[in-house]
């Protein structure tokens, strides 16, 4: 098994060459996608080949937060997380991967322990073929919506909930137009409407991606993203940033002007993303899920693909139970100092990273 580091030029090129030669090219496995999050993690990829079969595992390696650095025992400790979106192992080639998966997980565990990794959290790809072999805990975390573009435009239009068809008709009647941005040239307009949406939703600070984040997407992932804008006259009302893999497209970030809901611009955008995906021979459009299981956001997305509910799983593994428990106890103590309590029954993982 090889471990490739994105910051090492030879490793980066090897990783990128593997990705480019893969019939699948999942965007969440691209080295430059994982490297978008280098402000808090290091991008790595574990690779194991056997004959014509290859397993790759792109992941983010994180140092512990500053609050634990007072103790020398924890300074070298790290944990693993999937990049924002989806992750886990990807299988390249055709054949029986059972034995190579067992070998991979065994070797990766030894490497993780040697690197002082305490825990690992994976957001599994919706169609993961390696999840069942994962040597940790796998749990059903949420539901996601996937629109099967192979059904074609006419069939999907029939399957939309009536409110979606009505909203699209209303948008067209209100003279909304679609603009595609393949280069990020309209980033100023995007950021204005995106940050406004985050403010309205009182979003967590982690969703306020900086301008540099998007500029790196434009520079490093050209051809693998599209901004879909809904406009009325010269005014942008809504936008979706879509990421592109060989066979799938993903709604990555969405935003809508608060004063334009009556024109139904976001329905108009999603409808046109579906049209574009079909025209560009994509098989699936992944809309994602809600903030919580079966919430209003999930219901909104489901209206575009009522039959497209796909379970979303996460993986959790503790490599060093002793240190993990110590860190949880330290977190609990620090929260108590601020008159807060750690909910040990929470599904959040790892618990020592839970915020108040």
Alpha carbon 260 to chain centroid distance?
A: 28
Q: How far apart are CA 99 and CA 198, in angstroms?
A: 45
At 67, is the pLDDT very low, low, confident or very high (cuts 50, 70, 90)? low
225 contacts 243 by C-beta, under 8 angstroms: yes
- Domains of the chain and CATH, by start: 2-135 (3.40.630.30), 144-311 (3.40.630.30)
At 59, is the pLDDT very low, low, confident or very high (cuts 50, 70, 90)? very high
pLDDT at 235: 94
DSSP state letter for 345: T
Would the pLDDT of 72 be above 70? no
pLDDT at 173: 97
Mean of pLDDT values over 27-56: 96
Q: Is 70 helix (H, G, I), strand (E, B) or coil?
A: coil
> How does pLDDT run across 142-198, given as a tens digit for each residue?
999 999 999 999 999 999 999 999 999 999 999 999 999 999 999 999 999 999 999
Mean of pLDDT values over 239-255: 97
Phi, psi of 185 (to 5 degrees): -65, -25
At 64, is the pLDDT very low, low, confident or very high (cuts 50, 70, 90)? confident
pLDDT at 65: 73
At 230, is the pLDDT very low, low, confident or very high (cuts 50, 70, 90)? very high
> How does pLDDT run across 98-107, given as a tens digit for each residue?
989 999 999 9
- Alpha helices by DSSP H, listed for the chain, are 9-20, 31-34, 98-114, 153-159, 162-173, 187-201, 211-220, 265-279, 296-302, 321-337
Q: What is the 3-state secondary structure (H, E, C) of 76-122?
A: CCEEEECCCCCECCEEECCCCCHHHHHHHHHHHHHHHHHCCEEEEEE
Mean of pLDDT values over 80-89: 96
**Residue 288: both structure tokens together:** 């994602």
> How does pLDDT run across 199-211, given as a tens digit for each residue?
999 998 889 999 9
Q: How far apart are CA 118 and CA 124, in angstroms?
A: 19
Mean of pLDDT values over 133-141: 96
> How does pLDDT run across 215-229, given as a tens digit for each residue?
999 999 999 999 999
Would the pLDDT of 252 be above 70? yes
Residue 1: burial class (beta carbons within 10 Å; 0-12, 13-18, 19+): middle
pLDDT at 74: 83
Q: How far apart are CA 63 and CA 69, in angstroms?
A: 10
pLDDT at 69: 66
**Residue, of 355 and 278, whose pLDDT is higher:** 278
**Residue 308: both structure tokens together:** 């497209």
User: DSSP characters for 254-279?
Assistant: EEE-TT-GGG-HHHHHHHHHHHHHHH
> What is the reported pTM?
0.95
Reference 144, options 123, 166, 167; nearest CA is 123
287 contacts 298 by C-beta, under 8 angstroms: no
pLDDT at 117: 97
Phi, psi of 20 (to 5 degrees): -65, -30
> How does pLDDT run across 289-346, given as a tens digit for each residue?
998 888 999 999 999 999 999 999 999 999 999 999 999 999 999 889 888 899 999 9
Partners of 62 in the beta sheet? 79
CA distances to 242, 274, 289, 295, 297 from 292, in Å: 22, 24, 8, 6, 9
**Residue 60: both structure tokens together:** 């983010």
Mean of pLDDT values over 62-70: 76
Question: What average pLDDT does the chain have?
Answer: 95
Look at the alpha carbons of 151, 153, 158, 160 in this order and tell me if their dihedral is positive or negative. positive
At 356, is the pLDDT very low, low, confident or very high (cuts 50, 70, 90)? low
**Residue 220: both structure tokens together:** 């490093």
């Amino acid at each position: 098994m090889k471990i490739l580091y994105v910051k090492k030029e030879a490793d980066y090129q090897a990783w990128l060459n593997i990705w480019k030669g893969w019939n699948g090219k999942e965007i969440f496995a691209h080295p430059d996608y994982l490297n978008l999050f280098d402000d808090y993690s290091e991008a790595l990829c574990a690779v194991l080949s056997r004959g014509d079969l290859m397993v790759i595992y792109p992941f983010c390696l994180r140092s512990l937060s500053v609050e634990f650095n007072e103790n020398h025992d924890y300074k070298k400790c790290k944990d693993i997380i999937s990049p924002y979106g989806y992750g886990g192992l990807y299988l390249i080639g055709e054949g029986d991967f059972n034995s190579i998966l067992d070998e991979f997980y065994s070797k990766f565990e030894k490497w993780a322990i040697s690197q002082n990794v305490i825990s690992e959290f994976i957001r599994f790809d919706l169609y993961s073929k390696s999840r069942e072999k994962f040597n940790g805990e796998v749990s059903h975390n949420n539901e996601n919506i996937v629109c099967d573009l192979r059904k074609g435009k006419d069939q999907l239009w029939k399957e939309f909930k009536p409110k979606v068809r009505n909203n699209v008709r209303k948008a067209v009647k209100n003279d909304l137009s679609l603009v595609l941005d393949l280069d990020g040239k309209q980033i100023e307009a995007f950021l204005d409407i995106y940050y406004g949406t985050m403010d309205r939703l009182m979003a967590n600070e982690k969703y306020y991606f900086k301008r540099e984040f998007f500029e790196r997407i434009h520079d490093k992932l050209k051809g693998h993203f599209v901004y879909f804008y809904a406009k009325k006259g010269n005014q942008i009302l809504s936008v979706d940033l879509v990421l592109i893999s060989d066979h799938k497209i993903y709604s990555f970030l969405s935003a809508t002007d608060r004063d334009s809901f009556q024109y139904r611009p976001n329905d108009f955008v999603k409808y046109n993303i579906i049209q574009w995906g079909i025209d560009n021979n994509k098989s699936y459009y992944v809309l994602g899920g809600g903030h919580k299981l079966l919430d209003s956001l999930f219901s909104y997305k489901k209206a575009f693909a009522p039959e497209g509910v796909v379970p979303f799983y996460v993986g959790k593994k503790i490599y060093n139970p002793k240190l993990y428990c110590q860190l949880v106890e330290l977190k609990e103590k620090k929260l108590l100092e601020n008159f807060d309590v750690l909910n040990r029954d929470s599904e959040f993982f790892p618990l020592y990273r839970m915020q108040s």
